[in-house]
Amino acid sequence: MAQCSRRKTPRHVAIIMDGNGRWAQMRGHRRLVGHHAGAKRVKEILRTCPNLGIDYLTIFAFSTENWKRTQVEVAGLMTLFKRYIRYETQSLHDEGVRVRFIGDRVRLEPALVDLMDNLELLTAGNSGTYLTIALDYGGRDEVARAARRLAQDVARGQLDPRVVSDETLPKYLDTYFLPDPDLVIRTSGEARISNFLLWQSAYAEYEFIDTLWPDFTPAEFATVLNRFDNRKRRFGAVPV
Ligand code: FPP
C-alpha cells in the first residue's frame, strides 16, 4: 500500500528565517536591526499555527556556522536571544506554547543557557503549539553528536550494534521528541538547506520564498500552506 499523506495541513513546519541582514541593509540600517525585526515576526507566525492546524513549529535561529559572523553581530544576536527569552517567557507560557531548544549548548554563555532551561521547564506541561528553536544548531553536528552517544552506549554494552537501524539513530538526535517536518520553508530567495534538519527532512516538502524574513506575514504563511495542500506526498512509494 503506498504511503500517501491523507492529512493536508502540515503537522510540522520548519522555517529557515533568512534575509534579516539584507532587509536592514536595504533600509540603511545595521544588520542587527533586521534581526530585531525578524524576532517580531516569530511571534506573529507562531500565533497563527493553531488556526492553521500546525502542531509543531521549528525555527532556525542560529547555526553552527553563524559563529563565523563578526563579533559585533554574534554578540548582538546573543543579546537579542537573551532579551527575547526574558521578555517572552511569561507570554509564551500564558499562550500554552511548549518550547524546546535544539543544538549544542556548550558554546553558549551560561546566562543564555539558564534562560533556555527555565523556558523549557516552565512550558514543559503546556499542550499548545510545540515551538522548537534551533540555536547553535547544525544538522551534521547533530548527527555526529548522536553517533557519539550511540557509540558510547555500544561501548557500555547498553546497545547491540547489530540492531542499529535508521530507527535507532533518531532516538539520539536532538529532535528525538519531534515528528519529521512535513514542510520546510526558507525565506529570502536562497534555495539551499544550510545544514538544517538534514536527517529529519528526508521526505519533507520544500518552499523557497523570495520574501525576506522580516517581511514574511501570517497572510503569506497561509498562502504557502495552501500550496502545500496541492502537493502529493509519496514518501518514495508509487501512488495507487
Ligand atoms: C538569517 O538572516 C537569520 C539569522 C542568522 C538569525 C535569525 C534570527 C532571528 C529571526 C531573530 C530572533 C529569533 C528568535 C527566536 C528570537 P541573515 O542575517 O543571514 O540575512 P541575510 O542573508 O540577508 O544576510
What gap in Å lies between CA 9 and CA 116, rounded to an integer?
29
Indicate if ligand 1 lies below 6 Å from the C-beta of 42. Answer: yes
Pocket test for ligand 1, best of 16, 17, 102 (most atoms within 8 A of CB): 17
Q: Write out pLDDT tens, residues 38-68.
A: 999 999 999 999 999 999 999 999 999 999 9
Q: Considering the chain, what is the average pLDDT of its residues?
A: 94
Mean pLDDT along residues 116-127: 98
- pLDDT tens, residue by residue, 164-205: 999 999 999 999 999 999 999 999 999 999 999 999 999 999
Q: What is the Cα 74 distance to its own chain's centre?
A: 19
The domains of the chain, with CATH numbers, are: 14-225 (3.40.1180.10)
What is the reported pTM? 0.94
Catalytic residues: 18, 66
> Looking at this protein, which amino acid is placed at residue 192?
R
- CB proximity list for 145: less than 8 A, separation 6 or greater: 104, 172, 174
Contact 180, 204 (CB under 8 A): yes
Number of residues assigned to the chain: 240
Q: Residue 212 and residue 23: Cα distance in Å, rounded?
A: 6
Q: Is the pLDDT of residue 124 over 70?
A: yes
State how far the Cα of 38 lies from the Cα of 45, in Å rounded to an integer: 11
